[in-house]
């Protein structure tokens, strides 16, 4: 698969889509054409409708759009070491990343903290412990978003969330 690095230029030069397809013979693999103006317009619309809500882009939605994130996007959510690696390749600052996901190991959390990630989600009591250990090792603080389950396999029970909150307010 190939993302055309010049697709944004095509839009800026008002090149018509049919003109774009004349160049497809140069492409030897499947390719995607992204209309970044549409992406920016949708983000602007959401921000107008929800002006006080900070917007987060999930890299899982489309990692190829990281190089053209609108300013209205405050954070990028990643769920794996591989997605964190992609953010690093695009020079997304750690301060803009929220590290989530269910399959975290201490090495993953440590790497994220070392990169500057200071917000993470916790899906379980184990995740809270991992965040605490990694933050203590790095002599820093982590902001942790506790994920309450909606009755599926993801997130924590209400009792676990209340227990964590009670432990951290002492």
- With helix as H, strand as E and coil as C, how does 72-125 read? CEEEEEECCHHHHHHHHHCCCCHHHEEECCCCCCHHHHHHHHHHCCCEEEECCH
Question: Tell me: the pLDDT tens digits for 79-103?
Answer: 999 999 999 999 999 999 999 988 8
Question: Tell me: the pLDDT tens digits for 10-68?
Answer: 555 555 566 666 767 777 777 777 778 888 999 999 999 999 999 999 999 999 899 89
Mean pLDDT computed over 152-165: 90
Please report, for the chain, the start and end positions of each structural domain, with discontinuous segments joined by +: 55-168
Contacts 24+ apart (CB under 8 A), 37-40: 37/11, 39/65, 39/68, 39/70, 40/68, 40/70
If one compares 167 and 143, the residue with the highest pLDDT of the two is 143
pLDDT of 6 > 70? The answer is: no
pTM (predicted TM-score): 0.80
Percent of the chain topping pLDDT 90: 66
Query: Under CATH, which architecture does the 55-168 domain have?
Result: Alpha-Beta Barrel (3.20)
């Amino acid at each position: 698969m190939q993302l055309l690095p010049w697709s944004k230029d095509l839009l800026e030069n008002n090149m018509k889509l049919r003109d774009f397809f004349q160049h497809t013979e140069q492409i030897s693999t499947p390719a995607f054409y992204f209309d970044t103006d549409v992406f920016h317009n949708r983000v602007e619309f959401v921000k107008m409708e929800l002006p006080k809500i900070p917007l987060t882009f999930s890299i899982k939605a489309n990692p190829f759009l990281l190089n053209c994130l609108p300013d209205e996007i405050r954070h990028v959510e990643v769920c794996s070491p591989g997605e964190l690696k992609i953010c690093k390749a695009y020079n997304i600052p750690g301060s803009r990343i929220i590290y989530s996901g269910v399959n975290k190991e201490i090495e993953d959390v440590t790497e994220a903290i070392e990169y500057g990630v200071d917000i993470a989600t916790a899906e379980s009591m184990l995740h809270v412990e991992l965040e605490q250990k990694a933050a203590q090792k790095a002599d820093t603080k982590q902001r942790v978003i506790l994920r309450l389950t909606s009755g599926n396999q993801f997130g924590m029970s209400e009792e676990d969330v209340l227990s964590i909150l009670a432990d951290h307010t002492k």
